[in-house]
Structure 1
């Protein structure tokens, strides 16, 4: 493979690289049929003769940048994390092994589109090729060989381990007593006392229609911000006459998830669809190893799962667990009276990344929607814009079609045939907004009803199990920013991404200042807090003084107050609430304490935001 690092790369130069390619010859190795050119930002521009060769280049380039991160994800998806990294990986390994993650992924490779399967096999070959060239430099745990099944298994691993989440176990433990009758034990995949599930992550997306832009053309902005360790990765893939797509994905994932071609662009933000149900199976009182379903008695089938675990002294031990399965799915909890079976539409989303591959080829909104109609992609809000001027929002999910009889689907449901869903909702049954008259769409992980203040989507048109919840302050700020000008330029939209406005401060600071002013004889610390807050511009600008103090105040006040806001979030006023302070006296106390903490931590209460929050 020719891997060139150039000082400057222009789009024209990348296109001209085709002149140096050999005539198309299927017998030539893939490594000879792709060129990778990196620009001054290190972004790989992958020029390939075929899509298969492009997949090879994509895998090789990802491995160049993030081989250990990529390999660790594959090891986890194989259920071998504890073997190489110790006991912290055991719950993951037991979860994915219980779901036969790698074996099932191998079995379902046949379900993929034939062309994409070749692309996926080539991606794995590209990673393997990199490892073979750098074996001596890499840790011993990095696999020697990668396969297409590894990269089908990778996104599924999250769902497999999700069935073993501590949060799910805690919810069932809370609802149902763990006390059991003689001879019956409570079962769950993971101890409910385990730690939480990780960071709350998400992204922002804006699409602005031509009636709201200075150019008259649509503008799309994607602002992904998952955790630091997620390793977003950019690339440009060119297959002359077939594909010219620039976008991003997460390291280890086998195609670009978001980006643009000559005709259109799209980005995703996390949504919260309910893809899984827990079925409460009544146990047979006389035979607790059996359960009742649809008038028949069914056996609970034991499954032995083992995983190797690296110990601190370097030895390897084997941990074994015995789990129970039903014909509806794995049992995640068992009480004295019921066994609870888990079923998720994401577990059979074998063509997940085929969906992104297909989207990257779309030439217009019709082709784009046809891909989404295939229900290949399990989750995400999709925000779209195209050269024809269209903008589109879709709340996407492989959402099970459930009975609309008032049942609460948030945790467990009766184990009755009518609740055993067999179909997914069609695309046209999901919330979406096309070319709104108000001229914009935004999503910052908010429920779909609030993508526009001017053109709201009516939740009453959709089942209750479609995502509900509050409009958080981050998307409220996005809506406010989009309303600051009648017409927006590309630079304007880009600047919205970098806004340092703090909407929380704008909602509560007036109440806080009034409460401080009401104190007849403020302490020196409270007086200093008053002066800092009064002079503060309410932003997180690097030179701004006050943000660190306020952040500490809010963290402790919010924890101490049962309800921190005088006006909690109100669905009738979703873009203007919450606001005010519910307990001004308590707020004053915590503001005063925040001064002492900030001074002790940073040497002064007047610390600048940029002195604390910075890159090194």
Structure 2
């Protein structure tokens, strides 16, 4: 329609003239089409943050340094007070900044050598990645300089943030909160983590769409360990996901080709060695060795604002830092202390385009723990029992959970297992993989990873707890899982525990003469066996569970030969009925009726919001985990559990929904502190916007650099 003179077009010269005349017009059309279809993956000329209406930053970097700086800015805009407090603690100066309550925190950080090691880690970065960490810190400081009035006065003392602070925070979090923490040291025989998680990978053969799917669902306390959702785009990367506040890269993420999530695995990355003291030293292989010592000035802010200073001395043996206890002297040995490449590994995981590339990054083994659950657009799924697992000369998992003799080199591990030694399964025959903090052996059915093929200290032989059994059951029972079904399963509040013993409990209670016990049986018989907001009977059952002894209540204990169906049955029905009568009396006294709805007792509270909750303790076999704390009025408030959730299908384009229940900001007066909580209460996820067209259609704010 543009060429009206056919005679002129028949000659080569005519074509050339017409083409030169129309070239600007054609170029403008091409440019318009390119811009209109442009996704956030194209490289911009400058760096910007596009904030959507849920407070999610979509970082659009002209280069990697620009993206890191913008990410530092974004995290500070959303979480300045929390971020600075976390960095102050990671410096080991929190007591100097904020007083006596932080003394134990500072001593732990200094004992573990966090600030000194952060300097070494910073120097160990390659020049390019060191510049990225610099840029992240620059972004934090730039925001703070421009918006000082939005930051609490008491945390401004941490400014300016140094790049080493970022690495101190990473260490404190990864090595000395997750791998080992003060609480687990206090109970040396229990290697506890403050976190839990669910993760699924579903292959095309079990997906209704024929596309692989991934479910990410970490559980953390709703306090200092907050997830932060973001999209980071720069040349070579276009990743969407989440990380913990203060970490400069995404820890759980997906791109157009692949994605992964983490779960806290049954990983033993630290051990406590008992030292035999002699002549101001300790015995080791028949000889007395001197302790290494380091002294630190520990300043403590007093109520009048003055500083009290004391000298804090840390001793170390060949095993590691020494922790003195009442009856013994222990030295802690912790993996990962030379793993300075953790951030670079996470960054490159998000840049990978296929399974081979992804595995090459994983083989670095810089990440000291966490299961990796993976899926991609080519249809591959994988479960990796990831972590730095020490090569030990003796003992099983239970042995290494206890206190280890420290007077001999025979118990001192010095190297870790390589990648090829770790439990792993790719594309299992079942077409599905799950982990709910159970050992790797139960990731699918039929079993694809055999415990007998690995050293007995690699991971425990069991048990498989009820939440993991519920997880596996939902996947095993559905031959064709749609994306919507996966989301619905994620929100399941069904109590797997109730399915094992409730019928016996009801039957035994119905035979009692006691009127209260019979009424309790009637309530439980009518209960839907869920912890939804309107479930009646769940409160009574929960009170009963709190009154029983899990170690003795079951007739058939857990058995690794039947991991998905045991434990089962009541060992002592009469004892169980007595516990039910006691629980019923407590419920009726507290709430005036036995069949009070779950959501009337368990609440979601934030600011002016006070909503009925759903979900509960994973020990009851609830997949939708919510942990509660008493509020003093007979009610319980959500204090942890489900935090970041992402459901991803690797279709073209990728389909994704996500949620951070407590919102993507913790700054006072931010509209995003709890704006996602109503969705959480309704068991809904929100759409993930990834293209420029989607983001600009839901744009709240734009920041250009």
TM-score scaled by length of structure 2: 0.75
Aligned equivalents of 2:218 and 2:36: distance in 1?
29
3-state SS of paired residue (2:560): coil
1:47 and 2:60 matched:
yes
Q: Shift in Å at residue 83 of structure 1?
A: 2.1
Greater CA drift, 381-390 or 77-86: 77-86
**2:662 alignment partner in structure 1:** none
3-state SS of paired residue (1:409): helix
**2:100 alignment partner in structure 1:** 87
Q: Which runs of 5+ in 1 are unaligned?
A: 1-10, 23-32, 173-195
Change (3 A) 1:48 1:498: same
**1:264 alignment partner in structure 2:** 258
**1:546 alignment partner in structure 2:** 537
**1:507 alignment partner in structure 2:** 500
Contact 1:441 1:451 (8 Å CA) reproduced: yes
Aligned equivalents of 1:536 and 1:41: distance in 2?
36
Aligned equivalents of 2:105 and 2:548: distance in 1?
36
Q: Shift in Å at residue 200 of structure 1?
A: 4.7
3-state SS of paired residue (1:104): helix
**1:104 alignment partner in structure 2:** 117
3-state SS of paired residue (1:494): helix
Change (3 A) 1:404 1:533: same
**2:238 alignment partner in structure 1:** 244
Q: Shift in Å at residue 277 of structure 1?
A: 3.0
**Structure with the larger RCO, 1 or 2 (CA within 8 Å, 6+ apart):** 2
1:401 and 2:391 matched:
yes
Superposed CA deviations along residues 12-49 of structure 1, whole A, max 9, x for unmatched, are 87946799954xxxxxxxxxx31111122221110010
Change (3 A) 1:587 1:163: closer
Change (3 A) 1:418 1:21: same
1:460 and 2:466 matched:
no
Aligned equivalents of 1:477 and 1:18: distance in 2?
38
Contact 1:542 1:608 (8 Å CA) reproduced: yes
1:603 corresponds to which of 592, 610, 631? 592
1:482 and 2:499 matched:
no
**1:273 alignment partner in structure 2:** 267
Aligned equivalents of 2:113 and 2:207: distance in 1?
51
Aligned equivalents of 1:72 and 1:304: distance in 2?
24
Contact 1:206 1:441 (8 Å CA) reproduced: yes
Contact 1:208 1:440 (8 Å CA) reproduced: yes
Change (3 A) 1:163 1:235: closer
Aligned equivalents of 2:536 and 2:88: distance in 1?
46
User: Within 5 Å, which residues of 2 pair with 1:18-37?
Assistant: 21-22=44-45, 33-37=46-50
2:164 corresponds to which of 149, 154, 168? 149
1:573 and 2:570 matched:
no
Q: Which runs of 5+ in 2 are unaligned?
A: 1-33, 605-609, 611-705
Contact 2:141 2:161 (8 Å CA) reproduced: yes
Contact 1:160 1:347 (8 Å CA) reproduced: no
**1:593 alignment partner in structure 2:** 582
1:362 and 2:352 matched:
yes
**1:234 alignment partner in structure 2:** 229
Contact 1:116 1:357 (8 Å CA) reproduced: no
3-state SS of paired residue (1:236): strand
Greater CA drift, 158-167 or 145-154: 158-167
User: Within 5 Å, which residues of 2 pair with 1:425-464?
Assistant: 425-464=417-456
1:76 and 2:89 matched:
yes
Contact 1:124 1:146 (8 Å CA) reproduced: yes
Q: Shift in Å at residue 465 of structure 1?
A: 1.4
User: Within 5 Å, which residues of 2 pair with 1:253-402?
Assistant: 253-284=247-278, 287=279, 289-294=280-285, 296-333=287-324, 340-402=330-392
User: Within 5 Å, which residues of 2 pair with 1:207-218?
Assistant: 207-218=201-212
Q: Shift in Å at residue 578 of structure 1?
A: 1.5
3-state SS of paired residue (1:151): helix
**1:534 alignment partner in structure 2:** 525
Aligned equivalents of 1:421 and 1:93: distance in 2?
28
Change (3 A) 1:542 1:277: closer
Contact 1:437 1:455 (8 Å CA) reproduced: no
Q: Shift in Å at residue 549 of structure 1?
A: 1.1
Change (3 A) 1:197 1:77: farther
Aligned equivalents of 1:228 and 1:555: distance in 2?
23
Change (3 A) 1:599 1:357: same
Greater CA drift, 343-352 or 353-362: 343-352
Q: Shift in Å at residue 431 of structure 1?
A: 0.5
Superposed CA deviations along residues 194-251 of structure 1, whole A, max 9, x for unmatched, are xx999853111111111111222211111122122222111111114x1110011111
Contact 2:180 2:193 (8 Å CA) reproduced: no
2:182 corresponds to which of 154, 165, 170? 165
Aligned equivalents of 1:198 and 1:59: distance in 2?
31
Q: Shift in Å at residue 92 of structure 1?
A: 1.4
Superposed CA deviations along residues 357-380 of structure 1, whole A, max 9, x for unmatched, are 110111111111111111110110
1:204 and 2:168 matched:
no
3-state SS of paired residue (2:531): coil
Contact 2:108 2:182 (8 Å CA) reproduced: no
**2:511 alignment partner in structure 1:** 518
Contact 1:94 1:305 (8 Å CA) reproduced: no
3-state SS of paired residue (1:375): coil
3-state SS of paired residue (2:147): helix
Contact 2:43 2:234 (8 Å CA) reproduced: no
Change (3 A) 1:163 1:359: closer
Contact 1:436 1:455 (8 Å CA) reproduced: no
TM-score scaled by length of structure 1: 0.86
Aligned equivalents of 1:202 and 1:423: distance in 2?
27
Superposed CA deviations along residues 267-296 of structure 1, whole A, max 9, x for unmatched, are 001113111233444433xx2x12333454
**2:131 alignment partner in structure 1:** 118
Contact 1:163 1:342 (8 Å CA) reproduced: no
Aligned equivalents of 2:518 and 2:602: distance in 1?
26
